[in-house]
Amino acid sequence: MKVLSKLSKRGFLNYAIVIAFYLVFQILSVTGNLSSSLSGQLIPIVAYVIMALALNLVVGISGELSLGHAGFMSVGAFTGAIVATALQASVPNGILRLVIAIIFGAIFAALMGVVIGIPVLRLNGDYLAIVTLAFGEIIKNLLNCLYVGVDGKGLHFSLTDANSMNLEADGITILNGPMGALGITKISTFTSGIILLLIVLFIIKNLVNSRTGRAIMAIRDNRIAAEATGINVTKYKLYAFVTSAALAGSAGALYALNYSTVVPKKFDFNTSILILVFVVLGGIGNMTGSIIAAAVLTILPELLRQFQDYRMLVYAIVLILVMLITNNEKARATMVMLRKKISRGKGKEAQS
Amino acid sequence: MLTNLINGISLGSVYAIIALGYTMVYGIAKMLNFAHGDVIMIGGYMAFCTTSYLGWPVVPSILFAVVVCTILGIVVEKLAYKPLRNATSLAVLITAIGVSYFLQNAALLIWTSNPKAFPNLVASIPSIELGGVRIANTAIVTVIANLIIMVALTLFTNRTKMGKAMKAVSEDKGAAQLMGINVDRTISLTFAIGSGLAAIAGVLLCSAYPTLMPTTGAMPGIKAFTAAVFGGIGSIPGAMLGGILLGIIEIFAKAYVSTQLSDAIVFAVLIIVLIVKPTGLLGKKVSEKV
């Protein structure tokens, strides 16, 4: 126990969990004990964990509710898919191409974060939430109408249909409007996903424990007091928002390059909500909680497969019950009492 | 042009009725009830089942849908939201999302994902021709229903004791309680009214766009929520205005710009309004206390 608390104090617990998770699943898959449906879920799990961490940076550390984070994921996903497909000939190495795609995904999502963040962060509370929701929907709608192709001359874009791009004979359509990105080569691997996740954890840990992170948290706790001490509120809020968008973009690229096709509809309001559920269930502001909640809740529908048609119903009931139990005053009081009893018991042990 | 305007007002009236439910619940319980859109869907299915399977006449089937949704609203409030009265707003939001998932998946199990063709419940009312413009019967009924609801709700909140209690609770819960108002019952009543209105909105929505699926309520729900914010959340006239404006913008965007981009345009207008006037069109400006 003591070792564990020391680890968590230094922020190494998160790394330990991720590495343990990696080792367990890697051993399972090498020894052939992993069901095919679950092994197909490994990269999505990692992507969702990164999404949860990114959203937690906005919701937990910066204290703003975003209902449109799937939008950033989608920007990252389609940028990643376009970059990876366009570079197929010039960069034959899959890993290198994945890295470039993820970096581009993150950059484009970050740019989108700046574009959205500047107007949005002037608002407060529920209004901010609804505007992020609106931006998420706008991104989805625009991507639904976007056609991108590549040929010998480079990239072609169109907002009307695939034919108006005037591709040459050897050209390929990468993004086909509502049909999404087609013919992606799967280059994401579980190992590369885990490495990305560790990097994300490192970025978040360093951000939170830095001067910038403390400024962001000061704004969350009391905006007026923070402003009075000379903190530039908009700048730091934007800092957190854009970082989060970039991380979400990298998760999106990782996610998209795990499939052969990705449609814009995949990243709708429901996905944003799903990620928010991970963050809230894991504990707002608690990164370890986000990791566990995202992993467990992505696997849960798979494990509930035996209930078949009832699984989403069961999922909904579990969600409601967990929220009721963890937030009800009576339930909470009981928890506090239990914890006190346990710690008192420990105290006695130490004395004797 | 005129036809589009009428279609816009008709669609907007449906949004307005849904937005009323959002705005009333938000005003009183300070929560975003994400399950509201799914109550609309349940209302639609209730009307569909009673008319198509049981052969009920129109009026009783609509009444039945309203009663079922009202009870549903009260039950959901009692089971899922009441235990969280003092929890953070995010916790309540997630619970509401859980309820929304629950309703959608329950509907999926009962009625499957195959879309149902909703019967035109207002077929007995003729469409009219006015100066060369045809006004669909659904549009007439929707707009009239909207007007009746608006007048009734305004009278209710301003004249009756329960309505005044509702206003009092939304302004200051603690003070209202000290004045002897039963806050719990008032909140339940708000959910009941909001859900009843959702049932009516469900019937009207499905009459105008006759396909019914477990996800029917989701998108109109989000848009109506947007409409409520657009008009200033918590304000009843604001919800009306926001709903109708949103409907008109959507239809015009569909007609003159692009069908695919109409939703994007609606949301873009919302963002511009909120940036210029951060509390919505008719929202109250609340100054921040230090």
A280-329 pLDDT, tens digit per residue, is: 888 888 888 899 989 888 887 777 767 667 777 877 888 888 888 877 77
Residue A74: the pLDDT is 94
* pLDDT bracket for residue A34 (50, 70, 90): confident
Are B263 and A141 a contacting pair at CB < 8 A? yes
Residue B59: the pLDDT is 85
Q: Is residue A74 part of a domain?
A: yes
* B-chain residues near A74 (CB < 8 A): none
Sign of the C-alpha dihedral computed for residues A246, A249, A254 and A255 taken in this order: positive
* A-chain residues near B101 (CB < 8 A): 312, 315-316, 319
Q: Among A157-171, A258-272, B153-167, B260-274, where is mean pLDDT lowest?
A: A157-171
Q: Are A316 and B102 in contact (CB under 8 A)?
A: yes
Q: Residue A153 is part of which domain span? A: 2-307
Over pLDDT 70: what percentage of chain A? Answer: 88
Give the closest residue to B105 by CA, choosing from A275, A266, A316: A316
* pLDDT bracket for residue A169 (50, 70, 90): low
Are A129 and B274 a contacting pair at CB < 8 A? no
Give the closest residue to A83 by CA, choosing from A17, A171, A148, A33: A148
Are A130 and B263 a contacting pair at CB < 8 A? no
**Region A210-229: what's the mean pLDDT?**
91
To probe the interface with B, which of A133, A137, A272, A284 has the most B CB atoms within 10 Å? A137
A130 and chain B: CB distance < 8 Å anywhere?
A: yes
To probe the interface with A, which of B22, B75, B94, B222 has the most A CB atoms within 10 Å? B94
Are A126 and B95 a contacting pair at CB < 8 A? no
Q: In which element (H, E) is residue B99 found? A: helix B89-111
**Has residue A6 got a pLDDT over 70?**
no
Q: For chain A, report the end-to-end CA distance as a whole number of angstroms.
A: 19
What is the total count of domains within chain A? 1
pTM score, whole prediction: 0.83
What is the least distance, in Å, from the CA of B88 to any CA of chain A? 8
Q: Which one of B86, B108, B260 has the shortest CB-CB distance to A145?
A: B260
ipTM of the modeled complex: 0.80
pLDDT in tens, B7-41: 888 889 999 999 988 888 888 887 888 889 899 99
Amino acid making up residue A18: V
Residue A348: the pLDDT is 52
Longest CA–CA span in chain A (Å) reads 84
To probe the interface with B, which of A324, A326, A334 has the most B CB atoms within 10 Å? A324
Residue A7: the pLDDT is 53
Q: Is residue A326 part of a domain?
A: no
* B-chain residues near A280 (CB < 8 A): 90-91, 93-94
**Has residue A75 got a pLDDT over 50?**
yes
Q: Which parts of chain B sit beneath pLDDT 70?
A: 123, 284-290
pLDDT in tens, A120-142: 887 777 778 888 888 998 998 88
Residue A49: the pLDDT is 94
To probe the interface with B, which of A313, A329, A334 has the most B CB atoms within 10 Å? A313
- HSE of B178, CA atoms in CB hemisphere, 13 A: 4
**Exposure string for A297-308, b = 16+ CB within 10 A, e = fewer:** bbeeeeebeeee
| Main-chain dihedrals φ then ψ at residue A136, nearest 5 degrees | -55, -45
How many Å apart are CA B148 and CA B288, to the nearest integer? Answer: 37
Q: Is residue A28 part of a domain?
A: yes
Top pLDDT among A33 and B68 is at: B68
What is the least distance, in Å, from the CA of B150 to any CA of chain A? 25
Q: Is residue A344 part of a domain?
A: no
Are B102 and A135 a contacting pair at CB < 8 A? no
Q: Where are the domains of chain B?
A: 2-217
Note which residues in 66-85 of chain B have CB less than 8 A from chain A.
80, 83-84
Query: Which residues are CB-contacts of A294 (< 8 A; sequence separation ≥ 6)?
Result: A45, A48, A49, A51, A52, A275, A278, A282
Q: Which one of A122, A134, A329 has the shortest CB-CB distance to B226?
A: A134
Residue A352: the pLDDT is 43
**Has residue A82 got a pLDDT over 60?**
yes
* pLDDT bracket for residue A347 (50, 70, 90): low
Query: In terms of CA atoms, which chain A residue is nearest residue B219?
Result: A269
Query: In terms of CA atoms, which chain A residue is nearest residue B271?
Result: A131
Structure tokens of A274?
Answer: 């799903």
